[in-house]
Amino acid sequence: MSDRGAPPPAPEPLGPLVDAHTHLDACGAVDAASVRAIVDRAAAVGVGRVVTVADDLASARWVVTAAEADPRVWAATALHPTRANTLDEAARTELEALARHPRTVAVGETGLDHHWPGRLEGCADVGTQEAAFRWHLDLAKRVGKPVMIHDRDAHADVLRVLREEGPPETVVFHCFSGDAAMARECVDAGYVLSFSGTVSFRNARDLQEAALQVPLEQLLVETDAPFLTPHPHRGRPNESYLLPLTARALAVLRGQDPAELAAATTATAERVYGL
């Protein structure tokens, strides 16, 4: 019988680590007890803190509640680009209040997604996404918190909007997916690049080249759970406890000691998010 749908086994511990981007609600958390269970599994392998990220307004409310329920959990609140068509005045008012919450450490995820328009029913078109992205950038500047970027098949336009609007003090590219040239441009601009399990995929040569361009002080690691499970469990359910696999793969790629990379990315997360 295939175990493809079963949770992978826990890896060897590595820490300290911060999961810079996960979705606890999409991982099955529904209340304080289930949030605690997920974070307990992560803490057992060295992942002591997580940032759980919203994709719609209901999720934005939920991630703040989750962060209030467990001191190891922090929140990022925004409307995902594909949900940008729900950014009405009431949503703007509520999102601003949630962004100002003391357990919210970033405005995100926001940005541009050129993959889903025309493929996903109800997905916001590119123009609507860009208007919402600009609003979220302004919000991040007004509340003084980092912006967490979603960029899917939209590299040039995301960078263009950041230039046109002027970025907040801190910009984090969640699940960075560009090549080495884009990584260098982002590093030169002072942006922080976060790498997920995709960097461990055997066919991710361009992304791996990009990961070599990033100084430790601009580097984060994340799961984007329940998605993007790292090798060798690609295609199985992801969760924060699997982050050591990504951190180790990244360390091997960069020729660094895994413990050094873990400590450095944790220091970056603490600085960027004020943990």
Please list the residues that pair with 8 across neighbouring strands.
Answer: none
- What pLDDT was estimated at residue 2? 47
| pLDDT of 1 over the 70 cut | no
Domain segments of the chain as ranges:
17-273
Confidence of residue 111 (pLDDT cuts 50, 70, 90): very high
pLDDT in tens, 167-221: 999 999 999 999 999 999 999 999 999 999 999 999 999 999 999 999 999 999 9
- What pLDDT was estimated at residue 5? 77
As a whole number, mean pLDDT of residues 52-61 equals 98
| pLDDT of 4 over the 80 cut | no
* Pairing status of strand 104-113 against strand 17-22: unpaired
Say which CATH superfamily domain 17-273 falls into: Metal-dependent hydrolases (3.20.20.140)
Q: What does the mean pLDDT of the chain come to? A: 97
Do the beta carbons of residue 110 and residue 80 sit within 8 Å?
Answer: yes
Q: Taking the complete model, does pTM exceed 0.85, yes or no?
A: yes
What lies within 8 Å, CB to CB, of 38 at 6+ separation is 24, 27, 28, 29, 239, 240, 241
pLDDT in tens, 71-96: 999 999 999 999 999 999 999 999 99
As a whole-number percent, the residues of the chain with pLDDT over 70 amount to 99
Q: Which helix (H) or strand (E) element contains residue 73?
A: strand 73-77
Q: Helix (H, G, I), strand (E, B), or coil: what is residue 49?
A: strand
